[in-house]
Structure 1
Amino acid sequence: MDKLNMKKYFKKFAIWAIGLYLVGGIALYFVQDKLLFHPEVLPANYQYKFDIPFQEILIPVNKKVKLSAVLFKTSGRARGMVLYFHGNAKNINRYAQLMPNFTRNGYDVLILDYREFGKSTGELTEAALYEDALLMYKVARARFAPWQIVLYGRSIGTGIAAQLASVRDCKRLILETPYYNLEDVASSSAPIYPVGMMLDYKLPTNEFLPKVTAPITIFHGTNDNTVPYGSGKKLEEFFKKGDEFVTIKGGRHNNLNDYPLFHAKLDSVLKQ
């Protein structure tokens, strides 16, 4: 191949490469919500069935938006309430099996489906996530003092819980498989794109933690392929005295509940 033909070949290749890059970036931008959130919608007349006592709660936001929540009740008199912010998939049904982790320690648990999840209505946005978290806190404050309220975030819910803890008092903030921020996670999956400029959701946990005055406990598994262990570990730089990062060796993103260390540490902090 002579120099002229080679130059034409590389020029054509470059044009195709740039085109594919741009098309990929545009596609990534417009499908990011579907990549980030995987809700499972439930009909309005759906009846929950759980093995532990519960009460379904409907939290009105305005005339068009209503949030579906479930209050799981401990036996006897509750020592406080856990506000549980769940992950990015399905709905309350998926996480109900985890509620005994809290009720057996004497806590009621309020878990909310985000907008577009379960029976909740309205448009899902980052601002809405924070707004709805404040409504959950308001429900808790009707029954308990701040020093009796534990904020618990799992996966995508960790950023929401951290934001709430940065603007409202609570007994403790507990984060399971958290991220430094969403850009940090997305960059590891799509390093060739300027994801920080493309993301509609930021959820900057790293900006919230320095404002949290309550004790912080973080759980993260070393084999987490969804939110890299290193992303959560970086949050340790914002710890104050008394905060704790609990490493679950071999733990993945969705199985920390299978580890005795997870339960031992969780029971310990909830009994404090």
Structure 2
Amino acid sequence: MQNLSIQHEPVSPLLRMPIELRRQIYRYVLPSTLRMDTRLQRLTGEEEKKEFNLTLVRVGTGVELWKVQQTFPKSDRETGNDVVWQRGSIGILATNHQVHDECVDIMYGENIFVIDVSFDNITFRYRWLILSSNLMPSRAFPFLEHFSQRNLMKIKNYIINVEHVDDYTGMIKYNCQGIGLAARIRRQVENLVDLLVAAPYLNRLQVHLIDGAVGRERFPSGRIHRVQDDRYIHQSQTVLDPFKSLYGVRRAMITGVSLEYAKELEDSVVASRIGAE
């Protein structure tokens, strides 16, 4: 009878290493995020932009008291501008299934993903560092369509900007205002939260409301001014309510809203499943 023997392929020296050492090697090769001071992201000698709007803010109760506040452009109000990707190599993912899975866990599970939510889209902001010139170009990709569902489930660290525009901007850009404007933005938040709820584990969640929901009022002088007071912030911050469906997040930070609402939402998303039920 012919002697049949099973031929085992030799195990790669890389795979004979402990997983901890392999993960250290992967981190040197794969793309990764780092935090850079935004002041270092300008070219040498480039002056900081001073563009801003002036908004009248109602202060006090029972008395018409106003103060003038500088409202900066969206780019100065959003968070995550300090998150920059170092471009590595993903060629190692084609080695075999085991190496692929171990690398994907690191690439998606350890890096910070900056997401921008607006009236009409949910985008992944990809800003990368070009070492030779120290430039940091940026691109935006449709977040829910750009990545596979399997990889989306592996992301554990998010910085999320939710932009709420005022009625005037909503009418100009989206032909929508009032209740419909807030409802559409909230629906986009719900679409994102549907993904986050399905993720098995979230390590860090930072949510920032870019509150542009200001009004315009005609003053006795006849001039129309941009106006903001408590009624706008309490109305606009409700677009973040869908995040209350989350639970078990290790660390959460909510900004751009009232202190009371931030505390309520942070406590909600870090609560355990039992506490949430």
Shorter-chain-normalised TM-score: which range? 0.3 to 0.5
The TM-score, its normalising length taken from structure 1, stands at: 0.33
Larger radius of gyration: 2
Structure with more helix by fraction: 1
